Chains A and B, each alone.
Chain A
Amino acid sequence: DTAVSQTPKYLVTQMGNDKSIKCEQNLGHDTMYWYKQDSKKFLKIMFSYNNKELIINETVPNRFSPKSPDKAHLNLHINSLELGDSAVYFCASSHGEREGYFGPGTRLTVL
């Protein structure tokens, strides 16, 4: 059973397009996150939701909009994609502030 799943695994698109990445967790956790991993493997928090409410919103362009329809889902919508958005995006979840469980990642390539 997959604990944290993301779709799609790969996403290749043109500059200027709008795309979404979906995330679901079946662990019963109340907190979900989006992290971005750049080409040098550096991981940086983007957003954090607790019980469907936005808790942390790091310095991320407004083109990125997370949505949490329920505690088990956290989606990421990106408008007007740019070359610099190319990265691997990881969804994660945790119970409160304990360790995070990560999804397999979505590799986004913007051409």
Chain B
Amino acid sequence: GDSVTQMEGPVTLSEEAFLTINCTYTATGYPSLFWYVQYPGEGLQLLLKATKADDKGSNKGFEATYRKETTSFHLEKGSVQVSDSAVYFCALRGVSGYSTLTFGKGTMLLVSP
């Protein structure tokens, strides 16, 4: 079945540091890939997405590129802010039959001033 693997957290960074959160997936065909963010006490918000190989999703300074050859969708940001502190989820929607979102386990990001 489909699965998503994310790096364990928490990831602790200082403000303005470079962020990478690794995400790899297992799925047949070409799934759609997503990053969601969950701020403390809130629901999940879509951060960015990519629907085909080599697509780059971007939003609020975050980027991720759909790499079919490495089955990866790593999240990056050049300069993090304290307000980016949250839990980040990588997810995929498969192509077989009627599918729902399959999530990774989430990576907590803590940014200090």
What 1/0 mask marks residues of chain B from 38 to 67 whose CB sits below 8 Å from any chain A CB?
100011111001000000000000000000
Main secondary structure of the interface of B (DSSP, over half): strand
> Which of A14-22, A42-50, A63-71 contacts the other chain?
A42-50
Chain A residues with Cβ under 8 A from B98's Cβ?
A: 48, 50, 55-56, 97
- A56–B108 Cα distance when bound, in Å, is 29
Q: Secondary structure of the A side of the interface?
A: strand
Contacts of B43 in A (CB 8 A): 4, 90, 102-105
Tell me if B25 counts as interface (CB < 8 A to partner A): no
Q: Please pick, from B38, B87, B100, B108, the residue contacting A48 in the complex, using a CB distance under 8 A.
A: B100
Q: Is A1 an interface residue (CB 8 A)?
A: no
Size band of the B side of the interface? 20 to 34
Instruction: From known contacts A45-B100, A97-B99, infer whether A102 and B87 are also in contact, taking CB-CB under 8 Å.
Output: no
Q: Which residues of A contact B49 (CB under 8 A)?
A: 99
Given contacts A41-B106, A97-B93, contact A102 B99 (CB under 8 A): no
Across the interface, A100 reaches (CB within 8 A) one of B42, B101, B105, namely: B101
A residues near B44, Cβ cutoff 8 Å = 43, 90, 92, 100, 102
Within 8 Å of chain A (Cβ to Cβ): is B73? no
| Shortest distance from the beta carbon of A108 to any chain B beta carbon, whole Å | 15
Q: Is the beta-carbon distance between B89 and A101 smaller than 8 angstroms?
A: no
With both chains docked as a complex, state the minimum distance between the C-beta of A8 and any C-beta of chain B, in angstroms. Answer: 14
**What is the distance, in angstroms, from A7's C-beta to the closest C-beta of chain B?**
13
* Chain B residues close to A by CB (< 8 Å): 32, 34, 36, 38, 42-46, 49, 87, 89, 93, 98-103, 105-106, 108
Q: List residues of chain A with CB under 8 Å of any chain B CB.
A: 4, 33, 40-45, 48, 50, 55-56, 90, 92, 97-105
